[in-house]
Amino acid sequence: MNISSHFKPIGLLLFAAFLFAAPLGAASNRTAVSADGERSAVAEIAPEPIPLGESAEMTLTVSLPAGWETIAPSFPPTYGALSVESVNDDPPTLAAGKHTSVFHVRLAPDRSGTLFLPPIPIETRDAAGDSFPLLIPAGEIEVTSRFDPERAVLSDLAPARPPIQQFPWILAVALLAGAVTAFFLSRGLFRSPIRLAAREVSPRQRALRRLDVLKSSGLAETDLREYYIHLTGIVRTFIEETTGIRAGEQTTEEFLRHIETEPNRHFPPQARGRLARFLESADLVKFAKFRPAPDKIDAGLSSARDFVSTFEPAVPPKEGGAA
């Protein structure tokens, strides 16, 4: 059966405690087990790695004591950088004193590389109806591609041009242009090479433009979670372009740990503190369904703009790789 498109809310503080305490697990087999060992939830993805352009199935298996029940989890249209194509479940089973529920989530990646998989909250209830959540930890999965995106050429997608109908006229014009060029060259009128000036856009300018587009998009009113995904993505891309740190490929916990310990110290303490508050607050919206007040949403955009406008890395990024 199809499952609705919104997680049933779980206590925000409880969720945050699970989120920051959960260790990073392997994408192919991520497990959450209750403290007493009586309840467990496992997420498995196959195939792994996923070929770009194909889909994979994530199987969620929840095992509970007899008399307990699993509230069917649900997913928004995107799970991390993967599109959610369908969500279905099997009829629950009871065997050897265990109540088992299995859910199938069909996922399709939108790009290749190492992709982040957000944590998955699973709500379980005992016979009295009291809720006891499990949290499958965050992870990663590899997506492979059969082509090099750097070699893709847009002109390959252009329709074929019709055959030339008036070849003699074109040949005559080409010969005349060649003769005129030869005349000017012989007179020494072309003494300097022709230069095409390319206007380069800095990472700061690019990030500020993206923030302007995001602000005017109206996404904060229609899809707050997607809005914060774009907002943090702009900041992470700016950090990657100015420091070389692969901010877009790391979880918030991994990134903050990295900038605390990385030897080049791109980030002074004040910048690290600002980033930590910004990213952790955004994670609550993206993963815990927290909805801030409108003034806090505006403050988040202003915070991102201030950071992009003022941040200067202490050490320039290394050429051709991450710092």
Task: Name the least confident of 21-30, 83-92, 95-104, 179-188.
Answer: 21-30
| Dihedral of alpha carbons 255, 261, 263, 265, sign | positive
Residue 278 inside a domain? The answer is yes
Residue 165 inside a domain? The answer is no
d(CA 308, CA 317): 16
pLDDT attached to residue 183: 60
Say yes or no: 18 and 140 in one domain: yes
Say yes or no: 16 and 138 in one domain: yes
pLDDT attached to residue 215: 87
Say yes or no: 233 and 133 in one domain: no
Residue 155 inside a domain? The answer is no
Which residues make Cβ contacts (< 8 Å) with residue 187, sequence separation at least 6?
none
Say yes or no: 28 and 130 in one domain: yes
Q: What is the pLDDT of residues 206-215, one digit of tens each?
A: 889 889 888 8
Provide the residue range defining the domain that includes 49: 12-144
Residue 217 inside a domain? The answer is yes
Residue 294 inside a domain? The answer is yes
Residue 59 inside a domain? The answer is yes
Q: Are the C-beta atoms of 266 and 255 separated by less than 8 Å? A: no
Phi and psi at residue 84, in whole multiples of 5°?
A: -90, 115
Domain boundary residue among 101, 118, 144?
Answer: 144
pLDDT attached to residue 185: 53
Domain count across the chain: 2
53: left (phi over 0), alpha (psi -120 to 50) or beta: left
- CB-CB neighbours of 12 under 10 Å: 12
Residue 193 inside a domain? The answer is no
Termini Cα distance of the chain = 47
Q: Are the C-beta atoms of 105 and 60 separated by less than 8 Å? A: yes
Task: Name the least confident of 87-91, 127-131, 174-178, 249-253.
Answer: 174-178
Domain boundary residue among 125, 144, 163?
Answer: 144
Say yes or no: 138 and 208 in one domain: no
pLDDT attached to residue 1: 43
Residue 196 inside a domain? The answer is no
Q: What is the pLDDT of residues 233-290, one digit of tens each?
A: 898 888 888 887 777 777 877 777 777 766 546 677 777 777 788 888 888 887 767 8
Confidence check: pLDDT of 69 > 90: yes
Say yes or no: 110 and 233 in one domain: no
Assign residue 125 the CATH number of its domain. 2.60.40
Q: What is the pLDDT of residues 126-153, one digit of tens each?
A: 988 888 888 998 888 898 876 544 443 3
Q: Are the C-beta atoms of 107 and 16 separated by less than 8 Å? A: no
Domain boundary residue among 128, 144, 160?
Answer: 144
- Largest Cα separation within the chain, whole Å, is 98
Say yes or no: 122 and 17 in one domain: yes
d(CA 49, CA 144): 6
Residue 198 confidence class, pLDDT cut points 50, 70, 90: very low
Say yes or no: 32 and 120 in one domain: yes
Say yes or no: 102 and 207 in one domain: no
Say yes or no: 55 and 140 in one domain: yes
The more confident residue out of 291 and 19 is 291
Secondary structure of the chain in HEC code, one letter for each residue:
CCCCCCCCCCCHHHHHHHHHHCCCEECCCEEEECCCCCCEEEEEEECCCEECCCCEEEEEEEEEECCCEEECCCCCCEECCEEEEEEEECCCEEECCEEEEEEEEEEEECCCEEEEECCEEEEEECCCCCEEEEEECCEEEEEECCCCHHHCCHHHHCCCCCCCCCHHHHHHHHHHHHHHHHHHHHCCCCCCCCCCCCCCCCHHHHHHHHHHHHHHHCHHHHCHHHHHHHHHHHHHHHHHHHHCCCHHHCCHHHHHHHHHHCCCCCCCHHHHHHHHHHHHHHHHHHHHCCCCCHHHHHHHHHHHHHHHHHCCCCCCCCCCCCC
